Chain A
């Protein structure tokens, strides 16, 4: 009876997700620039994103973080524009803008009232080929990036633990390096390094232009032709595969940093959509992440935070859209009186259960219901829709994968979840890090400016 009811519910959600879907229009310029357009006419707004196929996983040792450094320098002037002028023009046109760097991509975006799209195209086309990299600007911006690293990683005990953990977990995969780069690499970038990196990767045939908003696809294509059409393509030499060697046993580490609470990170080596032998394996891993951590009703929160009360917080994560093999991550903070080791044992028990007991149908359906609903909620954000297309295209999966996602996840069976759990979740491919909190001695000093007013 219950089963029938759930099936009915799935059909209802399924129907609405079909209604909500909109088409992606694709076009390629002669110089190789790929353009993806998705119409969203809810507001007179347009999001424009330029995605380059380069990120920290493309970087050789010695210049780790250079993709991110170059991202900063992209705001520092071209043959036509002064440093900072790019941002002033976007601001004067009411735009929001920024950029972000990942392991597999570097992306730049503007969100603007729809009539301003030409402004965005003109500026992005200009800095795609005509960046003016100046030594004195690099000197200043390098300090900014170093401050960014201090803020995000060096003074953040959990981020620091994750950085050390990742460097241990991978043997030779470039995913072992932090996106922002290692400190001594950041300190030693030269302007020549940046010029070489820019020349090597910034070209129309290594980029995807994604536009989402209140636009007409054909008009966007001709506008793109007008601004990007004249740009010369480069010869892009493919990077080496750098496939991670198989891990031959559990890896453990302790990270001692000033902190108040212990913390645990664990990761199992797993394939992604792009690298898995069978595509369903990646979707089954995605469902497995949902069973463990897909909301407050998922197993980790139900069993470890509420049931056994071992953790104050706990999580699991897997990204199926990476370019290279990934880590399926588990992390958490034990409650007072419990240790990181207690939590590790409990997390492993949860993994073991998935290996030997089939997931119940209603639990599986709950994960799928959330995936279906989220596919609709995500459409409330044009930016997010653009992100998904840009990311999938840039890692080489193709934007079409976004359309398949809901269907493929719905097709995952309990047996498939058990199969990937058995196949990939072995101690020999596990890495574990414990944060061992070191004391923080706080002191206050106060000065009052008496009678200053």
Chain B
């Protein structure tokens, strides 16, 4: 089975991730590993994960995303999820998933501003 690698871009001290593929289980698991690896390699102080193109988050993907956020925090980096679609936010609440303690912003631009604020850069 083909595992799609989600690109992780470096911009100054931050890592930018824009998820633009259909998220299957293997792809999100691979992304989890890739991201912590990239944080370690680059010493990034913050990560933005943009979900603008994601039209569905089920409980498994939500769990993995929540884990990614916690792992990033454990590594000492700040993380912001951006671009969660209105329909996705509604279904997440239907599922009882609130992403407590996860910082979010409306879009990538606001996410970067928030990260700059959080990291003091």
Q: Do A and B bind each other?
A: no
